[in-house]
Structure 1
Amino acid sequence: MYLSVNGNRMLAIVSIAVVLAVAGVANAATDAALRDPISVIESDFRAGKIDIDRKAILQVTAIKNPRALPAEYQLVDPIAGRVLLRSATPALVKIIQQWEQLSPSTQQTITSVLARPAGDYTFDSPGGFFKMHYSLVGPDSVPPADGNGNGVPDYVERCAAYCDSSMAKHTMLGYLMPPSDGGLGGDNKYDVYFEEMIYYGYAQPEAPGPEPWSDYTSYLVLHRDFIGFPPNTDPEGNQAGAAKATAAHELHHAVQFAYNVNAELWFMELDATYMEDIVFDQVNDNYNYLSMFFGSPATGLMDNTSHVYSCFIWGLYLAQRFDTALMVDVWEGARYKTAYAALSDSLQGNFGWTQDSAFAEFATWNFCTNYRNDGLHHAEASSYPLVALDRTHTTYPVATTTSLTSPQGYGSAYVQFIPNATPGKLRLIFDGNDSRQWAAYIIKTTGLNSHEVMKLDLTAPNYCDTIDVLGFSGLSSATLVAVNLSEGSSGLPFTYSAQILPGYDLKSQMTTDSLVYSGASRNYVVKVKNLSTLTDGVKVVWFDSNGWMKKDSLSRSLSPGDSTFFDAPIKPPVGTALSSQSAVTITARSINDSLEFSNFQFSSTVVLQRGDLTFDGKIDLSDLSYMVAYLTAGGLPPKPVMEAGNFSCSGIVDLADLSALVSYLTGNSGPCACNPF
């Protein structure tokens, strides 16, 4: 699609108004929360109430002349005359993407309407990249105040500076620059216009660029004064904050067009809203969208509705958890594949993560906001709303229950369990719908903001697991986080059940280190304590990878509060080389509750035993004879290294070592002080 720069825009707008006035339009769906005509028009199209030509004409009218819309779509804020949404860009991009589906007459009308705005004056930004086009009279006029008396309105100068700052950040991060439009705005600078509109602004894709991928030239249109828009936290005021956020947002759209104008709209919009934070972190205009995300966590990341603006925190998570360079890498890949595929490749190739695993973790971060912020998750979590809960349970047992919400692909749901006076542990069973991929977690919360995350072991095809939450009565809450990882899928519910069981609770610990001598026996000692008020049994099983241990087990009964010790013997063969290792597993498990267990996995490592000069695993008279032969008769040096003869810990092998060894073997002194055990 090529958009004309010479069409009679006003005539086309009048023509659209006449067409809409004459033709009947289906009733629009309501969108009271946002009162956004473009979103409602899109909803009516999806519902089959209007065709694609009518949709395109209505949406362009909403951008260029909203007063000409039928009454059904007069949905802007009745006081401010604005909508909350940042950008009209997605509608314009979709028109480009669906251009061939439009009728010739619709194409002609839209081309005329989307001709470049007029501007009586121009101003080149201090950075030299942008040309600002503005008027001082008429409906699109900017505020005329000129405090420095240089003949350029202060508002235009400030917007130019905001655009320069945005470009500087993009350049620093390594993004491509928007392709040249060939001088359509008077020269080769990037053109920025000002208009009166109900939106913050938009980036208009205009014509195919020079590259072999789907790049597009473009220009920006900013609101003519940014008065009456939602509040933000910019220290210079709401007007400056809105202008800064829009400059960063819309320029980023222009940069996206340099890579692929056909990229997924949901990703384009969340990414551009994320860039507001990267360029102007102090503004936080995008906080105005957060209630959409946290109020509806089951809505999927790929949902192409106004919800995508609120998903900017996915971008912030990726930047914080991995690197701000990640998004640049994504767009490099998106020249030849979808942005989703490019993000998956970048996460896997650069960090060894799957996109599913990253989003699943992201869902747990989203619980830790507001007063739940523990300082370990979202950097600005204290300013974020609390995520909406699917249900809260305070009485038990909870019979098998179907979730109230149905998480869409890359959406989530949160079910909270509050302890009552019943002691014990919470046993929870989760079962995700088998036609979707799922991840699930339990977040154990103590106090207001101390969290421990436990992951359920879910595998295809059933996505079902049972998990025990120990010490449930001592928690503030335990929250089930269910995540649908079938990207782009429609929402489906999950089921769960919960009960409080008697509190079998064992505490196990290793009381020895992991070292061992070649050819020598040693016991690894496990201490097990029964912390519950119930008599329990414990079974300890041990084995290793090299056969140094005989796989075996022991079982004992434990009264409440009692402890016992288990010896797990290990013996490497005689002559096993120093530093050799064997993987050891020791498991202590409750006999009454198989889910109550401790698992110790470590590497048993062969180390030197000083005094064992024959390297047979024992210190005895044969070692004494060996040392006498070495020191007095020219015998062989100690095995496997000279240090084996250093029994006195002096650093050399001499008569002092012989004397120390004699003293030890005759019972007059203790073992070698520099042996590890």
Structure 2
Amino acid sequence: MIRMRSYKVIHGIVFDDANNNGIRDKSEMPLEGVVLNIYRVEEVKKANADNEEGVIVYNEKHIGRVVTNSWGEYSLVVSEGLYSVNLDVGTLPVGKGVVEANRFIGAGYKRSIDFAVKDVAEIQVGDGFKSKAYLGDDIVLQPVFKDSSGSKLVANVRLASDDDEVEVDMNRCSIKANAFKEKEISIKIDAGKIKASYPIKIELPEVCSLDRINLASRMGVVDEHTRIRLLLQALSADKGLPDEYRSKIPIKSGTPMIEELVRYTGRQDADSELVKRIKQFFSNSIPKLDRVYTSPSGYFRIHYTTTGPNSVVSSRWYSRTAVPLYIQSIGKAFDEVKKFTCETRGFRTPLSDQGKKGMDVYVYDLKGKYGVTFSSEYHNDKKYNTRVASSYICIDNNYSSSKGFEKSREECMTVTVAHEFFHAVQYAYNVDADSWWKEASATWNEDEIYTGVNDYVRYLEKFFSAPQKTLENSGYGGVVFAKFLSENYGGYEIIKRIWEYQAAGYKNSVSAIDRAIKDVSPGSDFGVAFDIFTAYNFNPEQYYKEGRLWKAKVALQGTYDAYPVAATKNRMDHLAANYILFKAAPELDGRNLKIAIDGSDKARWGFKIQKRNASDGKCNITNISSEGYYNRTEIIVDDPRKRYSEICLIPANLEKERDGLEYTFSADIL
């Protein structure tokens, strides 16, 4: 017996609801040319995660696009089943919107699905609006639109700016600065009969000079030659460094800056005069230091002076024949760090210069830098086509608060010893490993040895303030990822394994990390780990051993406490994430929150939600698959106010190199 497939017609009218009663009256005009997208719900499942009360995920397949005719009508013949109809508000006249742009159609439902279009009568700025932003950040406006009766609308509006450095895409504004300086911009909203303007102050980010210079380069404000010149000026404390690149925050390590200068001198297109200045800096970077102290182990030769601006003593009554206690402390710290890192944990011992044993350490005024490691003699590993190098380390002479240091001299010194020594260890594996991973793992090492100092916490602001930027630009803040790996994939052994793969020819650190994760966690990889990592960062105190100490909180791409939320498009770098927060507002009482997401095709995405319990503040993760056959996913959270204080949608770009991936999200009440 042949079973005939059952069909139905999805149909309805889109009309201008002039009298605002939600019903089409004879005098009210139909709207022609409005686009509606039809999705078939191919799978309905309860999300697979712990404590999944009241969460259902719908995966949807786009099956048709229809346009209203001159009578405002639309229709599409479909097979029986569950469907979703989404009205594209961007095809409505400017200044008009609907209360609900997305409608579910259950199996057997045959009634007309009509959309009453209303005029925007009021614009509210929204609680998520920020009147200040940092240069380099995208600005996402979250205005609330209402009709004349006070109902919230999803509306078609136009955002614009008179400033030619501001690029507007839907409700996201990007600053394409021609100069690295503070400024004020104005974003204008055109909602037909209603218009509004919002001033925003753009400030320089509160980061160290190194990060400011690199940001200016990524924004296209300075070219590569200028970037190198600025790095040289910052390293040498040149008074010619422009004020906008100066910072009260010390540079955690000058090592990546030294590496940049070394690479530049080998470029064919390098500016010859700049190369000459760099070489002069290298030859004169270490001042005359007339004393040497050998650490108790005999491995470290510590060069210092007790006179002049680089003196390690501040009292004129100090005995000139005695070894200063600070120098003795440095020797002790280096011995401790080497023993713990190389002997106890088995990381490679730094290479020594030919004909020498041990390592040289120079103590002098570094003018706002914690420490610097210089490579000295390079050696090629022909088997793996990698390079290793011997090195020497520079430490500041006093870590004075006048230079911006917040911790005591002893604390700053010990973490710097652990940090810079690990750079020397890295050079014994692969001197050309990625800079971000060198800094992340060196910062990780300092906290492993001197865990009570927690100086690294000061440098987490940059990382958490820009989660939409790639992990590979995280600098010292990348320590969060190193901590995530060590706390979830086998302790310090995973870090050591990664460096062994770097030594074996994995010049790209992401590839080395990917291989190490696959070794210790079969079935997992970098993308899987990074997806979990982004979820943990929403509530660090729950997931990290020291998360309670981190003052910096992950930046939210948007915060919403009024619904519906119009379709919003965002863009991300590779290995980056967004955090969109939905508050359990009173209007959700006894109702359901629906979140829809749609990511770029043929890309590896990680979508999940974090649900914060109203009772204890802890979170529960729901992982969401949107890959393969499906175009779109919808998440239904049943009566969220009964359980949760807030819901955070976390999209992550899991691609290892592909930037600019876009996704769209919206939210509504059912």
C-alpha distance in structure 2 between counterparts of 1:47 and 1:455, whole Å: 34
C-alpha distance in structure 2 between counterparts of 1:121 and 1:71, whole Å: 36
C-alpha distance in structure 1 between counterparts of 2:631 and 2:445, whole Å: 36
Higher relative contact order (CA 8 A, sep 6+): 2
SS of 1:194's partner is strand
- CA gap of 1:104–1:207, structure 2 versus 1, over 3 A, is farther
Report the equivalent of 2:260. 94
- CA gap of 1:450–1:55, structure 2 versus 1, over 3 A, is closer
TM-aligned CA deviation for residue 393 of structure 1: 2.1
C-alpha distance in structure 2 between counterparts of 1:66 and 1:163, whole Å: 30
Correspondences of 1:142-157 after superposition (within 5 Å): 142-143=312-313, 151-157=322-328
* Structure 1 counterpart of 2:500, from 298, 323, 332: 332
Q: Cα deviations across residues 243-301 of structure 1 (Å, max 9, x unaligned)?
A: 11111111111111111111111111122112221121111101101222222221210
TM-aligned CA deviation for residue 383 of structure 1: 1.6
Report the equivalent of 1:217. 390
Please tell me whether the aligned partners of residues 212 and 245 of structure 2 are also in contact (alpha carbons under 8 angstroms): no
* Structure 1 counterpart of 2:290, from 120, 127, 136: 120
C-alpha distance in structure 2 between counterparts of 1:362 and 1:44, whole Å: 28
Report the equivalent of 1:583. none
C-alpha distance in structure 2 between counterparts of 1:54 and 1:398, whole Å: 43
Percent identical residues: 24
C-alpha distance in structure 1 between counterparts of 2:629 and 2:274, whole Å: 48
C-alpha distance in structure 2 between counterparts of 1:328 and 1:169, whole Å: 13
C-alpha distance in structure 1 between counterparts of 2:325 and 2:379, whole Å: 33
Does residue 271 (structure 1) correspond to residue 447 (structure 2)? The answer is: no
The residue identity in structure 2 corresponding to 1:408 is D
The residue identity in structure 2 corresponding to 1:122 is V
Please tell me whether the aligned partners of residues 371 and 393 of structure 2 are also in contact (alpha carbons under 8 angstroms): yes
Please tell me whether the aligned partners of residues 427 and 499 of structure 1 are also in contact (alpha carbons under 8 angstroms): yes
Please tell me whether the aligned partners of residues 76 and 198 of structure 1 are also in contact (alpha carbons under 8 angstroms): no
Report the equivalent of 1:465. 633
Does residue 190 (structure 1) correspond to residue 362 (structure 2)? The answer is: no
SS of 1:465's partner is strand
The residue identity in structure 2 corresponding to 1:499 is D
TM-aligned CA deviation for residue 343 of structure 1: 0.7
C-alpha distance in structure 1 between counterparts of 2:631 and 2:252, whole Å: 39
SS of 2:572's partner is coil
Please tell me whether the aligned partners of residues 232 and 261 of structure 2 are also in contact (alpha carbons under 8 angstroms): no
Q: Cα deviations across residues 589-614 of structure 1 (Å, max 9, x unaligned)?
A: xxxxxxxxxxxxxxxxxxxxxxxxxx
* Structure 1 counterpart of 2:590, from 398, 423, 426: 423
Report the equivalent of 2:573. 408
Report the equivalent of 1:159. 330
TM-aligned CA deviation for residue 473 of structure 1: 2.6
Correspondences of 1:76-87 after superposition (within 5 Å): 76-77=247-248, 83-87=249-253
Report the equivalent of 1:176. 348
Report the equivalent of 1:397. 564
C-alpha distance in structure 2 between counterparts of 1:48 and 1:388, whole Å: 24
Please tell me whether the aligned partners of residues 423 and 438 of structure 2 are also in contact (alpha carbons under 8 angstroms): yes
Correspondences of 1:215-614 after superposition (within 5 Å): 215-228=388-401, 238-303=408-473, 307-323=474-490, 324-335=492-503, 336-337=505-506, 338-352=508-522, 353-369=524-540, 373-374=541-542, 377-384=543-550, 385-403=552-570, 406-419=571-584, 420-421=586-587, 422-434=589-601, 436-447=603-614, 448-460=616-628, 464-474=632-642, 475-501=644-670
- CA gap of 1:293–1:152, structure 2 versus 1, over 3 A, is same
The residue identity in structure 2 corresponding to 1:201 is G
- CA gap of 1:70–1:456, structure 2 versus 1, over 3 A, is closer
C-alpha distance in structure 2 between counterparts of 1:209 and 1:309, whole Å: 27
- CA gap of 1:192–1:379, structure 2 versus 1, over 3 A, is same
Please tell me whether the aligned partners of residues 410 and 487 of structure 1 are also in contact (alpha carbons under 8 angstroms): yes
Q: Cα deviations across residues 430-463 of structure 1 (Å, max 9, x unaligned)?
A: 1123364210111122124222211111214866
TM-aligned CA deviation for residue 34 of structure 1: 4.1
The residue identity in structure 2 corresponding to 1:281 is T
TM-aligned CA deviation for residue 322 of structure 1: 1.0
C-alpha distance in structure 1 between counterparts of 2:237 and 2:580, whole Å: 45
SS of 1:87's partner is coil
TM-aligned CA deviation for residue 327 of structure 1: 1.0
Please tell me whether the aligned partners of residues 434 and 462 of structure 1 are also in contact (alpha carbons under 8 angstroms): no
C-alpha distance in structure 1 between counterparts of 2:223 and 2:625, whole Å: 46
TM-aligned CA deviation for residue 28 of structure 1: 5.4
Which is further off, 337-346 or 33-42? 33-42
Whose radius of gyration is greater, 1 or 2?
1
CA RMSD in angstroms comes to 2.7
Which is further off, 318-327 or 293-302? 293-302
Please tell me whether the aligned partners of residues 306 and 320 of structure 2 are also in contact (alpha carbons under 8 angstroms): no
SS of 1:417's partner is strand
C-alpha distance in structure 2 between counterparts of 1:255 and 1:134, whole Å: 23
C-alpha distance in structure 1 between counterparts of 2:651 and 2:179, whole Å: 36
Please tell me whether the aligned partners of residues 66 and 74 of structure 1 are also in contact (alpha carbons under 8 angstroms): no
* Bigger share in strand: 2
Report the equivalent of 1:513. none
C-alpha distance in structure 2 between counterparts of 1:498 and 1:246, whole Å: 47
- CA gap of 1:44–1:467, structure 2 versus 1, over 3 A, is closer
SS of 1:214's partner is strand
Aligned length: 453
Q: What TM-score do the two structures reach when normalised by structure 1?
A: 0.62
Please tell me whether the aligned partners of residues 252 and 370 of structure 2 are also in contact (alpha carbons under 8 angstroms): yes
TM-aligned CA deviation for residue 160 of structure 1: 1.7
TM-aligned CA deviation for residue 464 of structure 1: 3.0
Please tell me whether the aligned partners of residues 205 and 212 of structure 2 are also in contact (alpha carbons under 8 angstroms): no
C-alpha distance in structure 2 between counterparts of 1:127 and 1:208, whole Å: 26
The residue identity in structure 1 corresponding to 2:650 is V
Please tell me whether the aligned partners of residues 611 and 647 of structure 2 are also in contact (alpha carbons under 8 angstroms): yes
The residue identity in structure 1 corresponding to 2:454 is N
- CA gap of 1:457–1:240, structure 2 versus 1, over 3 A, is same
- CA gap of 1:452–1:70, structure 2 versus 1, over 3 A, is closer
C-alpha distance in structure 2 between counterparts of 1:432 and 1:48, whole Å: 28
C-alpha distance in structure 2 between counterparts of 1:33 and 1:49, whole Å: 15
The residue identity in structure 2 corresponding to 1:87 is S
C-alpha distance in structure 2 between counterparts of 1:206 and 1:27, whole Å: 37
TM-aligned CA deviation for residue 482 of structure 1: 1.1
TM-aligned CA deviation for residue 320 of structure 1: 0.3
TM-aligned CA deviation for residue 365 of structure 1: 0.8
Structure 1 unmatched runs, 5+: 1-25, 78-82, 502-677
SS of 1:215's partner is strand
Report the equivalent of 1:16. none
Correspondences of 1:2-151 after superposition (within 5 Å): 32-34=204-206, 36-45=208-217, 52-53=224-225, 55-67=227-239, 69-72=240-243, 75-77=246-248, 83-101=249-267, 102-103=270-271, 106-115=274-283, 117=286, 118-143=288-313, 151=322
TM-aligned CA deviation for residue 468 of structure 1: 2.1
The residue identity in structure 2 corresponding to 1:198 is G
C-alpha distance in structure 1 between counterparts of 2:574 and 2:569, whole Å: 18
C-alpha distance in structure 1 between counterparts of 2:555 and 2:665, whole Å: 18
Please tell me whether the aligned partners of residues 414 and 482 of structure 1 are also in contact (alpha carbons under 8 angstroms): yes
